[in-house]
Amino acid sequence: MSAILPTSAEENYLKAIFKIAEKEPGPVLTNALAAEMGTSAASATDMLKRLSDKQLVAYEKYRGVTLSEAGSRLATSLIRKHRLWEVFLVDKLGFAWDEVHEFAEQLEHIQGENLTERLDDFLGHPRFDPHGDPIPDAKGRWQHRTQTRLLTLSPGQRGIVTGVDDHSPTFLQYLAEMGLSLGAELEVLERTAYDQSAKVRIGEREAVLSEKVGQNLFVRII
């Protein structure tokens, strides 16, 4: 029983199912999957049949889909590869954190013996990617970390930037311009009750961050 290799398209769907189920536990619905993949619902249904045939998901018509053990392992491995390649692109090739996603989206599908483990060695076994997302280890175990949205901090509280909940290049570029890279220290000085915007100190600078920013930026309180 030589488990045939999944195609890149299959891998991408598995990853999408994993990500949706992570935020919203329970079966993943066809429309949510299609939206995440940027395809039609009909295409998603097609793919779900293929993944079901390959035992990578448990799919019940009209009821949604969940990953099988094998599907979950594959999705986790894909996320591991994606994030390791992102570390490579930023740490070794010098790309900015908003430039690496599309590359990693391709690189995660490179197949072959030992590549991931050698890359991991070369990078020094990073535990988080350039966006602060955890990198599962070779056995699929996840790092756990307590982080909170900047929005929850009250005036006087300080934090270290640990991640983002919006990975769009525009948001990442905006953060970089504000000096809000991973590891940056900030302190909430004031919060406006009306719109939840916050005046913050970032290193030496002061700035006002909107509710939207507060919602999408993770910090560890110090």
- Which residue ranges make up the site for Mn ion (CB under 5 A)? 12, 86, 105, 129, 131, 133
CB of 39 to DNA, least distance (A): 4
* Cβ atoms 194, 202 nearer than 8 A: no
Q: Which is nearer to a copy of itself, 89 or 151 (CB)?
A: 89
Q: Which is nearer to a copy of itself, 58 or 123 (CB)?
A: 123
CA distances from 118 to 86, 125, 215 (A): 15, 10, 37
CB of 66 to DNA, least distance (A): 13
CA–CA distance, 51 with 45 (Å, rounded to integer): 10
Does 125 engage in binding with a copy of itself (CB under 8 A)?
no
* Residue of 40, 143, 152, 168 interacting with DNA (CB under 7 A): 40
* Residue of 14, 17, 20, 48 interacting with DNA (CB under 7 A): 48
CA distances from 77 to 28, 47, 102, 121 (A): 20, 20, 18, 16
* Cβ atoms 173, 110 nearer than 8 A: no
* Residue of 4, 23, 26, 102 interacting with a copy of itself (CB under 8 A): 102
